[in-house]
Amino acid sequence: MSTKGVPTGGSDGGGVIVAQQLIKDYRRSRQRPGLLGALRGLVSRDVEEHRALDRLDLRVEPGEFVGLLGRNGAGKTTTIKLCCGLLRPSAGEVRVLGHQPWRREFAFLRRIAVVLGNKAMLWWDVSPMDSYLVHRAMYDLDHDDFARRVAGLAELLDVTTVLDVPVRQLSLGQRMKCELLAALLHRPEVLFLDEPTIGLDVVSTAAVREFLAEVNRRDRTTIVLTSHDMDDVEQLCDRVLLVDDGRLGYDGTVADLVARTSPDKELRLTFRHPPQLPAVWPRGTRMVGREGTSVELRAERDAVPALLGAAAGWGELVDLDVGDADLDQVMRDVLAGR
Amino acid sequence: MTFVYRGDFLMLQLATVLVPVISLLVWRAAVAAGADLPVDQSYLDSYFLAVSVVSMATASWTAPFLSTSIRNGELSRSLLRPASPHLDGYANNLGEKVVKLALLVPIIVVVVLVLPETPRVVGDPRHWALAVVAVVVAAVIAHCFEIACASLAFWFSDVNGFLVALELIKGVLSGAVVPLVLMPPALATALSWQPFRFFVSFPIEVATGQVAGGVAFGFAQQLGWLLVVGGLSVLLWRTGLRRYAASGA
Amino acid sequence: MSATRRGTLARHLRTWRAVLVQAVRRDAQFRAQAWTTGLVALARIVVGVIPVLVLGARTPEIGGWTARQLIAVAGCYQLVQSLLEVFVAPNLLRLSGYVRTGELDGVLIRPVDPQWFCTFRWVQPAALTGTLAGVALVVVGLGDSHPTPGGVAQAVLALLCGTVLLAAVWTNAAYLAFWFSSADFVHDLVLEAFTAGRYPVSLFPTAVRTLMIFVVPVGVASTYPVQALTRGPSAGQVVIMVGLGVVAVLVTRLHWRLAVRRYASASS
């Protein structure tokens, strides 16, 4: 089978990831306590069905950078695992690059890459380069192309000088960069990232983000990312998918998500002297915090102009800051509202 | 969870019984082939049935843990506590032995029942009582020995390989692998003087009433080794600890 | 189809060569640790052969075996045992960790056969000292016999089948990690059971002898090769060991499938 052309399934229409009515049930057997319970468990077992995904529809186009968000246990890990073939759907269908992932064919696995945030793929005791050579054999890479690829990615990630240093001597940031390099050696068309910046310092986080954006832009690699760091999602993803209770709760841009779920604006007003605040706030406004001469308010979008007019009467205004609630806050609101 | 855990422990005890049972069967074959041995089959049966219990009861398995805690600095924490840092080791050791014994004894009973020719166990109750004393002394020597070995970690960075090799050699010299009495005569005499004999072989010799050199002399030797090994462990531990404190690890 | 399959095989062999190179480079870097591994493997063999030497010294002949042939049997056992220690053991000992921490996910997303990868990924080249010692024991033990070419061929086949069989038994035992939350001591149990292979099967009662061929087939790995070398080939043994080998590989394959299915449904 050719690994170059994208196989086109009838109704896929070229979508990189297409999930239809995807259902995943887990069976958990409850264990009764004690020896007697264990023995009884041999005869009959309390089996509990848990639906992790409930008729999920999903579609990701080539070259997209998608953020997958959701609470713990909402189904985002299950979604990722179904997409890279670690799990088999209970019902419904998922196709990635035209393949059914759970079949785990070489032609499929060869075209994807998965970086599981805190699980190292590189061997601690040897240099990254020694591990890359194993990848070269495993993915059947051409020697010259491999050498060029390593050099190019290493330069982009600024790890050229550490490729022959044992991994255990590298900093966390360097290690993560080397992991990313390993994941991209075989030019995957889809990259699944689970918490790529977890535990990294600010500088490394920025470098990793910049690199991922570059890979997405230059190689047109489709990237699906889950992260607890909302800044990752805000800065990188064109599109976010919010999985909640096993369903797709939201699908759209970050800006739209912010606008739709939280029309509120956050205002920070600073006065020269402690202000005379009104006993009754204007409609659609509430105070979030107060500190010395400044007040923090949250107001519905439409209420802002009126609020600003009124604020002039509370004291001499010296500074004004207006912004959208950040994604962290939005997520909290969305999830609490359910 | 605990059920599963115990299953795992049971497997470990089965493993410890397996090698002596294999040896027992092999030496029975040797007796049947007319081998010229200084002891009879009932002695061999008793020896190999007892060896797993005595090995377990006198084993200490403290050294790897202690040396690791010296190396990674965890020792500092237990030094802060008001009790001796070895107290944990003793308590853990004793508790584990009780659990292991409870699993080991039924296994040995099953072995006795399953063996094609039911073994005749030698020795009378007085010998057995003395043997218990020998086991207790052996356990103390073995524990001191482990502390002495672990103390080497104060000076050397990696002693685990040494500990594994020592464990292997100890198996032979203590008589856990082959009864020392079966060794070539000249070698057997030499082996009767070394400390490891008193870890496993000597208590079983006492139980079977066939002590090379006599019971009283044997106990005198065992106590002698207790003093030597005990003194050595105190010396190594104390000087090592002083070094540890000085380096501020 | 067959072309793809050949390509797959070649790729797996190249991958194996790459992990081997990696392991050698690692040992070259941690020389002290490699020496320790090598010396401990050697010590294990020396200690293991002592009971056989004592037995031989006490009995000129036992169950139709001379003292020197006993050494050859022990040598074959050590040879096979140390091959397992070099190529298989470091993998099987890691397996329960893979399952517990979910690291197996990192294997399942690779374009290689995951069972193969979980069995051969890690190599411990320094323990090859034990293999050399095993060969030396076989040579010493067989110094005065004159094997036929057919005997030699069958001995090699027996060593091969024996290695596969013991690896399969141990692997299946290691897969218990998929079914039980703690079964680490199963390795101790299996390894101690293997030590019966130091002695010829004919020294044991009939029931144990059957176990040593059909359940924990150490007899195939140690008694069969020496029998082939000293007494010539036997068609019956060839049938038994090849048949057992095929069954063992199929069972191990099936067990892996079931185990991974359980792993996938248990993780979330």
Query: Looking at residues B98-124, what average pLDDT do you find?
Result: 85
Model pLDDT for residues B34-58, shown as the tens digit of each residue: 888 888 888 899 999 999 999 999 8
Q: How far is C248 from chain B (nearest CA, A)?
A: 23
Residue with token string 């001591």? C185
Q: What is the pLDDT of residue A44?
A: 59
Q: Which of residues 102-141 of C touch B (CB under 8 A)?
A: none
Query: Which domains does chain A carry?
Result: 17-36+49-258 (3.40.50.300), 262-336 (3.30.70.250)
Contact yes or no for B5 and C182 at CB 8 A: yes
Q: What subunits touch chain C, counting only 3 or more CB pairs under 8 A?
A: A, B
- Mean pLDDT value across residues C124-133: 92
Q: Does C215 touch chain B (CB under 8 A)?
A: no
Give the pLDDT confidence score for residue B2 in this predicted structure: 37
Chain C CB contacts of A130 under 8 Å are 21-22, 25-26
- The domain of B229 spans 2-247
Q: Is C176 on the interface with B (CB under 8 A)?
A: no
Interchain contact, B168 vs C43, CB within 8 Å:
yes
ipTM over 0.85: yes
pTM above 0.95, yes or no: no
Q: Decide which of C190 and A254 is more confident.
A: C190
- Whether C200 has a pLDDT exceeding 60, the answer reads yes
Full pLDDT tens readout for chain A, 338 residues: 333 444 444 445 678 999 999 998 887 666 555 556 555 655 555 667 788 888 989 999 999 999 998 877 778 888 999 999 988 899 999 999 999 999 999 999 999 999 876 677 788 888 999 999 999 999 999 999 999 999 999 999 999 999 999 998 999 889 999 999 999 999 999 999 988 888 888 888 999 999 999 999 999 999 999 877 778 888 899 899 988 888 888 888 888 877 776 667 888 888 888 888 888 888 788 888 888 888 888 888 778 888 888 888 888 888 888 877 666 677 766 666 54
Residue A251 identity (one-letter amino acid): D
Tokens, residue A246:
């096993």
- Give me the residue from C8, C109, C268 closest to A106, CB to CB: C8
Nearest CA in chain A to B2: A34
Q: List the single residue in C7, C11, C106 with the smallest CB-CB distance to A137.
A: C11
pLDDT surpasses 70 at B8: yes
From C98's Cα to the closest Cα of chain B, the distance in A is: 18
Domain count, chain B: 1
Give the whole-angstrom CA distance, residue C127 versus residue C88: 12
Residue in C17, C106, C111 nearest the CB of A110: C111
Range of the domain at C17: 2-266
Number of domains in chain C: 1
The whole-number average pLDDT for the span B142-159 is: 89
Nearest CA in chain B to A37: B3
Would you call A323 exposed, middle or buried from its count of C-beta atoms within 10 A (0-12, 13-18, 19+)? exposed
| Residue range C208-249, pLDDT digits in tens | 999 999 999 999 999 999 999 998 888 999 999 999 999 999
Count of CB contacts below 8 A, A vs B? 3
Q: What is the pLDDT of residue B4?
A: 43
Pairwise CB contact (< 8 Å): A139 & C101: no
CB C249 within 8 A of CB C231: no
